[in-house]
């Protein structure tokens, strides 16, 4: 999405915990699109660090038109198979970090004199998983559900102040080797619900600028999203549990055979 924003001519301010990767992507975007890219490594779960980062950005004269809350991690496996620390870390990044950053940014916007001049767009990257109760990914799906409902409510609450909120609910995304393996292990349904990263990035930004509240990419995923509202939750949870169990078995077989 950063690439797509740069393609549209936006200057970027990037943040991540990994400073080396931030530097590399900043250099790449700058070379490719000739836009101004600034970056700062930050642990978004630390509200003081977020405050410092935004203060520095303000000192540099940066004002934000759009906030893309993409940072998030998956925590696959049964609840008891993961340590409490792993689960808390995931919730910290998926929820706490997002709240920290969004709140700090909106606070600063209210303080500044620009309040009535420009709308601000906020994007939350949730997941298709947010639409269902999801055994074997219970905490992940619940954390994304939080974002889904929170974003919708926040959008309603702040729309009169010119704050437009969009929630993105993509299916699988093949961004690296592990995700390709995970998608392959899910078989037919995995492939069917997988979205093309480049298309989603482009369309999400377009929809954000049009003020759309929720974006579920792909016809299949939209249908599945609709089904989640019509079918009994017990049936959904049972079906999903079977699917994940099968996928886990498939992945275990692949790992053993390799």
Partner 1 sequence: MKNTVIVTGATSGIGFAVCEALLGAGYPVIGVGRSLEHCHKAQTAMTKGHPDTKLRFITADLLHQREVLRAAREIERAVSDFGGGIHALINNAGCVRSRYMTTEEGYEQQFALNHLAGFLLTQELLPLIKRDNAAVINTSSTSHKMMQMNWNDLMYQKRYRPLYAYKQTKLCNMLHVYHLRASGVRACGIDPGLVRTEIGNKNTSGIVNAVWNIRMKQGISPEQSAKIYLSLCENGFPGIYYGIGKTGTNKAGAIACELRTNRQINSSNAERLYEVSMKLCGLTNPIKSKKGIENNECTDNRGKWWLRQSNGNGLREARI
Which residues are at the interface with partner 1 (CB under 8 A)? 2-4, 7, 21, 23-32, 34, 36, 174-177, 180, 183-184, 191, 196-199, 202
CA distance 92 to 90: 5
Q: How far is the CB of 59 from partner 1 (least distance, A)?
A: 15
Q: How far is the CB of 107 from partner 1 (least distance, A)?
A: 28
CA distance 48 to 45: 9
- How would DSSP label each residue in 15-76? EES-HHHHHHHHHHHHHHH---EEEEE--TT-HHHHHHHHHHHHHTT---SEEEE-------
Q: How far is the CB of 232 from partner 1 (least distance, A)?
A: 33
Q: How far is the CB of 16 from partner 1 (least distance, A)?
A: 12
CA distance 187 to 19: 36
Nearer to partner 1, 20 or 116 (CB): 20
**Number of C-beta neighbours around residue 16 at 10 A:** 17
User: The dihedral of CA 182, 186, 191, 196: what is its sign?
Assistant: negative
Nearer to partner 1, 169 or 185 (CB): 185
Nearer to partner 1, 174 or 227 (CB): 174
CA distance 15 to 134: 30
Q: How far is the CB of 257 from partner 1 (least distance, A)?
A: 15
Nearer to partner 1, 142 or 196 (CB): 196
Nearer to partner 1, 90 or 185 (CB): 185
């Amino acid at each position: 999405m950063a690439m797509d924003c740069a393609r549209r001519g936006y200057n970027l301010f990037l943040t991540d915990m990994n400073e080396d990767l931030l530097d590399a992507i900043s250099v790449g975007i700058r070379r490719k699109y000739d836009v101004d890219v600034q970056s700062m490594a930050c642990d978004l779960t630390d509200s003081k660090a977020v405050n410092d980062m935004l203060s520095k950005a303000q000192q540099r004269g940066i004002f934000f038109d759009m906030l893309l809350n993409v940072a998030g991690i998956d925590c696959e496996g049964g609840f008891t198979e993961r340590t409490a620390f792993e689960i808390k870390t995931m919730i910290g990044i998926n929820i706490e970090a997002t709240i920290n950053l969004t709140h700090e940014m909106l606070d600063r916007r209210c303080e500044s004199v620009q309040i009535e001049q420009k709308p601000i767009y906020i994007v939350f990257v949730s997941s298709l998983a947010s639409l269902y109760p999801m055994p074997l990914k219970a905490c992940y799906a619940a954390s994304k559900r939080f974002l889904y409902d929170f974003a919708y409510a926040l959008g309603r609450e702040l729309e009169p102040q010119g704050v437009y909120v969009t929630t993105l609910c993509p299916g699988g995304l093949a961004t690296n080797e592990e995700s390709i393996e995970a998608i392959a292990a899910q078989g037919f349904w995995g492939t069917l619900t997988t979205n093309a990263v480049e298309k989603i990035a482009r369309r999400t930004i377009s929809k954000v600028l049009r003020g759309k509240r929720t974006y579920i990419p792909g016809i299949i995923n939209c249908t599945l999203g609709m089904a989640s509202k019509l079918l009994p939750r017990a049936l959904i949870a049972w079906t999903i549990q079977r699917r994940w169990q099968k996928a886990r078995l498939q992945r275990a077989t692949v790992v053993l055979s390799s």
